[in-house]
C-alpha cells in the first residue's frame, strides 16, 4: 500500500492507475481515510469511475461531504450515476439538505427520478433498502433471449444471479436463477423453468421482517412489490447482513437500558452518549427509591436486627441475575423466531421447572454457607433462605412473562431486560424478606 | 397446503408429485414437521430426489434420525449423495456414531472420501463451514471455455456465481464472477478479467473471523485454502448469516451470565437449561456475600444510623446500571469491529467525559429529591450524593476497562458484562458509602 504513496510522489500516474484498479475497494477506502485530504483527493480523481464510486460508498460519512464539496458539479454527477442507486440514496440521506438539492439537480434525469422516488420511502422499510437495478424478464422469453438480455443489460445491475419474471403488465409471476437459465436448453421458456412461488415483500414492510425472511429461506435476493403486486425493486443479501447486525445492536443496547444509536461509539460525541443514557438511568434511579422506601418502612425492625442488612446485597443481586437470565433467553428466542407468543404456556412451564431446580440448588448452598460462616442465628438463616427461594421463583417467572407481555402489547420485548426486571425483583425480594422477618423473628 | 394431504388421501400421486415440486423446501419442511410420521414418510418418498434432499436439510434434527432409521440403505445413500456436502456433514455431526459409520459405509466412495475429510476439521472452523462444491477454473482458460465448463459441471455446485482461478498446481490465484465471464468477450482469458487480490481464509480460521471478513468486504462467497495456499473449498453467505446470528446469540447469552447453548429454548430440557444457569449464579451469589460482609463490617455504624440502609438499593442499582451501559457499548463495539484494543485511551477519555456529565445530572436530581422528600438530615443527604457521584464515575470506567482488559488477555469480552460489573460496583459503592458516613456523620 506504501507503493501507492510512492508512485503518487514520483508522479508515475499510469502505473498508479494500474495499481489502483487492482486493489479491493474496501481496503482502498481504509487507506484513503488515513491520508491527508489533498493526497486523498488526488488518488480519488485518478481512479477509474466505477472504482471511485465503489470506494466512495465504503468511505466514512465524514469524508463524503468533503469530497462532494471539493469536486466539480460534473464530477458529482458522474459519481452519482456510477454508484448503485441504494448507495446513492444512503449518501443523500446523510448530507445536508441544500447539498442534496444541488446533487439531485445535477444528476441525470433518469437517476434523479429514481432517487426522488426512493427518498419517499420511510426509513427502515423494504422500500428504502431496495435497489431498482435488477433483471426483469418476461415470462414468455426463451432462455436464449433471456441470456442475451442479461449480457446486454447486466453491467448496470446490482445482481444478475436471480432474475424476476413478470407478465406483460409487470406483475411479479416468478423467479428464475441465472444458474437455471444457463443450465437449461436454449429454447426452453422462462415459464417452464421459473419458480412461481416467489418469496417477496411489500415496499412498506419493516426491515426486521425482511431480514427474517432472508434468514428463513436462505435467499441471496428478494423482490419488492407495490400494492398492485408489480415488482419495483430488489433487496440483496449484502444489505441484509448489515440490517441483521444493526437490529442485533439495537436489541443489545435496549437490553442494557440504552437509547439505541445508529452511529459508531468512537464517532459519537460525549454529549450525545450521555444523553442516550441519562433518561433510563433517571427512571431507574427513581424506581430504586421505592425499593429504598420499603426498607424505610421496616426501619424499626432493622434497628432491632441490623444483621438483616448484611443479606440485602446477596438477595438483590441473585434475584436480579436470575430474572435477567430468563428474560434474555426469552427476548433472544423471540428475536430469532424460536419463540412465538402462542408458546407462552410452554415457556411458563419450562421456567417454572428451571426456577424450582435453580432455587433448590442455590438455597441449599446458601443455607450451608451462612450457617457455617455467618453467626446470625438459625431464625435469620431460615428467613434468608426462604426469601432466596421465593425470590428466585418469582424472578424467573417475571423474567419470562414481561418480554411476552411486551410482545403482546406490541412493544419491543428487549425493553423488558435486566435493568427493569432487576428493579421489580429488588422490591419484591425486600418485601418478602422483611415480612418474613417480622413474622419469624422474636 | 391442505391440498397435499387431500391428494395424499385420494391417492392422486402424480398430481401430488407435481404439487410437491412447486413448493418451497423451507415451507414444505415446516409442514412435514406438523404431520404424523407415516404421512410424512409417504410424502418424503414421493418427492423428487433433489427436493427431498433440500427439504431434509431444513427439517428439525429430531426428524433426521427418524428418517434415516426408516428408509433403506440405498435410499440413505441417494439422499446423502443428493445433499450439499456441508449439509451432509452437519447431519453426520448430529447423529449417533454407529449410524454415522453405517451411512459413511453406504455412501458413494467419492462422497465418503469428502465427508471423512470434513469430519476432521474442528467445529466452528472455516474448514467445517466450507463446501467443496465450487467451480475451479484454470487461469489460462478463455471465457468461452470457462462458460462451457460451468454449464457442464454447474448442476452439482453450491454456487456458480463466483468462480476461482488456480494455476496448474491448484494454488489460488484469483476470483472471477460469473457476471464478468458472461459480460466479457468470448476469447478473453480468465487471467485478463480475474481479480487477483482475493479475500480468502485458511481452513483453521475461526468462524467469527470468517463472518467479519464477509461483512467487511460484502462478499457472497469466499475461498478456503490449506497451508500450501491451495484452494480446498468455499464458504457461502447463507451459512455466514447463520454464523452471525449464532455469534450474536452467544454474546447476548454470555452478557447475561448464561452458559451459551446452541439449541433452541423450547427444545432444550429443563435440566439442561438449569445447568446452563446455575454455575454463574453460584459464583455471583458467593461474590455478593463479600458485598454483604462490607455491611457487616459497619454494623455498629448502621445500628446508630439505620436510615443509611434506605439508600443502599438506589446506590447499588444505579451503579450497576451505569456500569452495564458502558460495558455493553464497548463489548458490542468490539464485536462489530468499531473499537479495537489500541483505541483504549480514546475510549477511556470518552467514558470519563460521559461519566462526569451523567454523574452531575443524576447527583443533582438525587440531592433535590432526597432533601425534599426524605427527612434524613443534610449530612446523610450529602453522604448519599457524594457516594452516588463517585460510584457513577467508577462504574463507567470499570465498565469500559474490564471488556478491554478481557480482550487483552484473549478472553471473550462478553464475559465482562452487567452481572460481573454489578458485583464489583456494588462492593465499591458500599465501601465508599460507609467510609464517607463514618467520616461525616457525628
Segment among A76-80, A238-242, B181-185, B422-426 with least mean pLDDT: A76-80
**pLDDT at residue B388, rounded to an integer:** 95
Query: Would you call B353 an interface residue with chain A, using a CB distance cutoff of 8 Å?
Result: yes
Q: Residue A265 is nearest to which of B271, B286, B339, comparing CB atoms?
A: B339
Q: Residue B22 is nearest to which of A197, A270, A347, comparing CB atoms?
A: A197
Classify B266-440 by CATH class: mainly alpha
**pLDDT at residue B338, rounded to an integer:** 83
- Between CA A424 and CA A324 the distance in angstroms is 11
Numbered ranges of CATH 1.10.357.20 in chain A = 265-440
Query: Would you call A325 an interface residue with chain B, using a CB distance cutoff of 8 Å?
Result: yes
**pLDDT at residue B362, rounded to an integer:** 92
Q: Residue B322 is nearest to which of A281, A357, A418, comparing CB atoms?
A: A281
Q: Which of B110, B72, B211, B220 is nearest to B88 (CA)?
A: B110
Contacts of B374 in chain A (CB under 8 A): 296
Numbered ranges of CATH 3.10.580.10 in chain B = 136-250
Query: Would you call B306 an interface residue with chain A, using a CB distance cutoff of 8 Å?
Result: yes
CA distance to partner chain B, nearest, from residue A196 (Å): 7
Q: How far is CA B290 from the centre of its chain?
A: 34
Contacts of A26 in chain B (CB under 8 A): 216-218
State whether A362 and B285 contact (CB < 8 Å).
Answer: yes
Query: Would you call B289 an interface residue with chain A, using a CB distance cutoff of 8 Å?
Result: yes
| Phi, psi (degrees; rounded to nearest 5) at A166 | -130, 160
Check pLDDT > 70 for residue A133. yes
Contacts of B282 in chain A (CB under 8 A): 361-362, 365
CA distance to partner chain A, nearest, from residue B409 (Å): 22
For chain B, what is the mean pLDDT? 83
Question: How is domain A265-440 classified at the CATH fold level?
Answer: Tetracycline Repressor; domain 2 (1.10.357)
Q: Residue B314 is nearest to which of A257, A285, A320, comparing CB atoms?
A: A285
**pLDDT at residue B131, rounded to an integer:** 79
Task: State mean pLDDT over A426-431.
Answer: 92
Nearest CA in chain B to A376: B296
Nearest CA in chain B to A337: B264
Contacts of A270 in chain B (CB under 8 A): 350, 353-354, 357
Question: How is domain B2-123 classified at the CATH fold level?
Answer: MgtE N-terminal fold (1.25.60)
Contacts of B368 in chain A (CB under 8 A): none
Numbered ranges of CATH 3.10.580.10 in chain A = 136-236
**How does residue A241 score in pLDDT terms, banded at 50, 70 and 90?**
confident
Of B363 and B123, more confident? B363
Check pLDDT > 60 for residue A1. no
State whether A338 and B369 contact (CB < 8 Å).
Answer: no
Interface predicted TM-score (ipTM): 0.73
Tell me: the pLDDT tens digits for B198-220? 889 998 888 888 998 888 888 88
Check pLDDT > 60 for residue B1. no
State whether B278 and A318 contact (CB < 8 Å).
Answer: no
Nearest CA in chain B to A296: B310
Percent of chain B with pLDDT over 90: 12
Q: Which of A84, A81, A103 is nearest to A92 (CA)?
A: A103
Q: DSSP for B328-381?
A: HHHHHHHHTTS--GGGHHHHHHHHHHHHHHHHHHHHHHHHHHHHHH--S-HHHH
Contacts of A314 in chain B (CB under 8 A): 285, 288-289, 291-292
State whether B265 and A361 contact (CB < 8 Å).
Answer: no
Q: Residue A358 is nearest to which of B183, B274, B291, comparing CB atoms?
A: B274
Q: How far is CA B408 from the centre of its chain?
A: 21
**pLDDT at residue A239, rounded to an integer:** 83
Query: Would you call B230 an interface residue with chain A, using a CB distance cutoff of 8 Å?
Result: no
If contacts are CB pairs under 8 Å, which of residues 17-76 in chain B contact chain A? 22-24, 26
**How does residue A156 score in pLDDT terms, banded at 50, 70 and 90?**
low
Tell me: the pLDDT tens digits for A20-42? 877 888 888 888 888 888 888 88
Q: How many residues does chain A have?
A: 442
State whether B339 and A266 contact (CB < 8 Å).
Answer: yes
Residue in this structure with the C-alpha cell 438463616, named with its chain if needed: A381
CA distance to partner chain A, nearest, from residue B75 (Å): 26
Task: State mean pLDDT over B285-307.
Answer: 85
Of A279 and A260, more confident? A279
Q: How far is CA A10 from CA A16, A183, A335, B391, B431, in A?
A: 10, 51, 55, 57, 64
**pLDDT at residue B157, rounded to an integer:** 66
Task: State mean pLDDT over B103-125.
Answer: 73
Cell of A12: 508515475
Contacts of A249 in chain B (CB under 8 A): 332, 336
Tell me: the pLDDT tens digits for B309-327? 889 989 988 998 888 888 8
State whether B318 and A182 contact (CB < 8 Å).
Answer: no
If contacts are CB pairs under 8 Å, which of residues 377-416 in chain B contact chain A? none
For chain A, what is the mean pLDDT? 83
Segment among A17-31, A77-91, A311-325, B203-217 with least mean pLDDT: A77-91
Task: State mean pLDDT over A95-107.
Answer: 70
**pLDDT at residue A237, rounded to an integer:** 86
Nearest CA in chain A to B159: A179
Task: State mean pLDDT over B327-335.
Answer: 86
Interface probe for B, chosen from A271, A317, A318 (most Cβ of B below 10 Å), is A317
Task: State mean pLDDT over B59-72.
Answer: 80
**pLDDT at residue A282, rounded to an integer:** 85
Interface probe for B, chosen from A303, A329, A413 (most Cβ of B below 10 Å), is A329
Check pLDDT > 80 for residue B295. yes
Query: Would you call B364 an interface residue with chain A, using a CB distance cutoff of 8 Å?
Result: no
**pLDDT at residue B392, rounded to an integer:** 94
Numbered ranges of CATH 1.25.60.10 in chain A = 2-122
Query: Would you call A270 an interface residue with chain B, using a CB distance cutoff of 8 Å?
Result: yes
Q: Which of B413, B109, B198, B240 is nearest to A245 (CA)?
A: B240
Query: Would you call A153 an interface residue with chain B, using a CB distance cutoff of 8 Å?
Result: no
Q: Are A213 and A219 in contact (CB under 8 A)?
A: yes
State whether A252 and B313 contact (CB < 8 Å).
Answer: no
**pLDDT at residue A434, rounded to an integer:** 92
Interface probe for B, chosen from A33, A265, A422, A433 (most Cβ of B below 10 Å), is A265
**pLDDT at residue B384, rounded to an integer:** 93
Tell me: the pLDDT tens digits for B68-90? 778 877 777 778 777 777 777 77
Interface probe for A, chosen from B310, B344, B425 (most Cβ of A below 10 Å), is B310
Q: Residue B178 is nearest to which of A27, A178, A251, comparing CB atoms?
A: A178
Q: Are A433 and B309 in contact (CB under 8 A)?
A: no
**C-beta neighbour count of A212 within 10 angstroms:** 17
Task: State mean pLDDT over B138-164.
Answer: 80
Percent of chain A with pLDDT over 90: 12
Q: Which of the listed CATH numbers 3.20.20.220, 3.40.470.10, 3.30.1330.10, 1.25.60.10 matches domain A2-122?
A: 1.25.60.10
State whether A292 and B302 contact (CB < 8 Å).
Answer: no
Cell of A197: 412461488
Query: Would you call B371 an interface residue with chain A, using a CB distance cutoff of 8 Å?
Result: no
Check pLDDT > 70 for residue B97. no
CA distance to partner chain A, nearest, from residue B364 (Å): 11
Beta strands in B178-294 (DSSP E): 201-202, 221-225, 231-236
Check pLDDT > 80 for residue A206. yes
A and B: number of Cβ contacts within 8 A? 332
Task: Say if domain A136-236 classifies as CATH 3.30.160.20.
Answer: no
Numbered ranges of CATH 1.25.60.10 in chain B = 2-123
Task: State mean pLDDT over A298-317.
Answer: 87
DSSP 8-state symbol, B122 = P
Query: Would you call A366 an interface residue with chain B, using a CB distance cutoff of 8 Å?
Result: yes
Interface probe for A, chosen from B313, B328, B425 (most Cβ of A below 10 Å), is B313
Sheet holding A172-177, edge to edge: A136-138, A162-166, A172-177
**pLDDT at residue A355, rounded to an integer:** 92
Of B261 and A188, more confident? A188
**pLDDT at residue B431, rounded to an integer:** 93
Contacts of A361 in chain B (CB under 8 A): 274, 278, 282
Q: Which residues pair with B234 in a beta bridge?
A: B131, B223
Superfamily of domain B136-250: CBS-domain (3.10.580.10)
- Between CA A40 and CA A78 the distance in angstroms is 18
Q: DSSP for B135-165?
A: -EEETT-BHHHHHHHHHHHGGG-S--SEEEE
Amino acid at each position: 500500500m506504501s507503493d501507492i504513496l510512492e508512485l503518487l510522489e514520483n508522479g508515475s500516474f499510469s502505473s498508479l492507475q494500474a495499481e489502483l484498479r487492482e486493489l479491493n475497494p474496501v481496503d482502498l477506502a481504509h487507506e484513503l481515510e488515513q491520508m491527508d485530504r489533498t493526497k486523498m483527493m488526488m488518488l480519488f480523481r485518478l481512479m477509474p469511475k466505477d472504482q471511485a464510486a465503489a470506494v466512495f460508498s465504503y468511505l466514512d460519512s465524514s469524508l463524503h461531504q468533503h469530497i462532494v464539496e471539493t469536486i466539480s458539479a460534473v464530477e458529482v454527477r458522474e459519481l452519482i450515476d456510477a454508484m448503485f442507486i441504494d448507495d446513492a440514496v444512503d449518501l443523500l440521506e446523510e448530507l445536508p439538505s441544500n447539498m442534496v438539492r444541488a446533487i439531485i439537480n445535477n444528476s441525470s434525469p433518469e437517476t434523479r427520478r429514481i432517487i426522488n422516488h426512493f427518498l419517499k420511502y420511510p426509513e427502515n422499510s423494504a422500500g428504502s433498502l431496495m435497489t431498482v437495478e435488477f433483471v426483469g424478464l418476461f415470462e414468455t422469453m426463451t432462455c436464449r433471449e433471456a441470456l442475451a438480455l442479461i449480457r446486454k443489460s447486466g453491467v448496470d445491475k446490482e445482481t444478475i444471479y436471480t432474475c424476476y419474471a413478470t407478465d406483460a403488465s409487470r406483475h411479479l409471476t416468478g423467479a428464475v436463477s441465472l444458474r437455471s437459465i444457463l443450465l437449461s436448453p436454449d429454447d426452453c421458456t422462462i415459464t417452464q423453468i421459473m419458480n412461481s412461488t416467489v418469496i417477496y415483500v411489500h415496499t412498506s414492510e419493516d426491515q426486521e421482517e425482511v431480514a427474517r425472511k432472508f434468514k428463513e429461506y436462505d435467499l441471496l435476493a428478494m423482490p419488492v412489490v407495490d400494492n398492485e403486486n408489480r415488482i419495483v425493486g430488489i433487496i440483496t443479501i449484502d444489505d441484509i447482513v448489515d440490517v441483521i447486525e444493526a437490529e442485533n445492536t439495537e436489541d443489545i443496547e435496549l437490553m442494557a437500558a440504552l437509547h439505541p444509536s445508529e452511529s459508531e461509539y468512537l464517532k459519537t460525541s460525549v454529549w450525545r452518549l450521555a444523553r442516550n443514557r441519562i433518561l433510563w438511568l433517571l427512571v431507574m434511579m427513581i424506581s430504586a427509591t421505592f425499593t429504598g422506601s420499603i426498607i424505610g418502612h421496616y426501619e424499626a425492625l432493622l434497628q432491632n436486627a441490623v444483621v438483616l442488612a448484611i443479606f440485602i446485597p446477596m438477595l438483590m443481586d441473585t434475584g436480579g441475575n436470575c430474572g435477567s437470565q430468563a428474560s434474555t433467553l426469552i427476548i433472544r428466542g423471540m428475536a430469532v423466531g424460536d419463540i412465538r407468543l402462542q408458546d407462552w404456556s410452554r415457556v411458563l412451564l419450562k421456567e417454572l421447572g428451571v426456577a424450582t431446580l435453580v432455587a433448590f440448588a442455590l438455597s441449599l448452598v446458601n443455607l450451608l454457607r451462612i450457617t457455617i460462616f455467618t453467626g446470625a442465628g438459625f431464625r435469620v438463616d431460615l428467613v434468608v433462605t426462604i426469601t432466596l427461594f421465593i425470590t428466585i421463583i418469582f424472578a424467573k417467572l417475571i423474567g419470562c412473562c414481561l418480554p411476552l407481555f411486551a410482545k403482546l402489547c406490541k412493544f419491543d420485548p428487549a425493553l423488558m431486560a435486566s435493568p427493569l426486571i432487576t428493579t421489580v425483583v429488588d422490591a419484591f425480594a425486600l418485601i418478602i424478606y422483611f415480612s418474613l422477618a417480622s413474622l419469624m423473628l422474636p
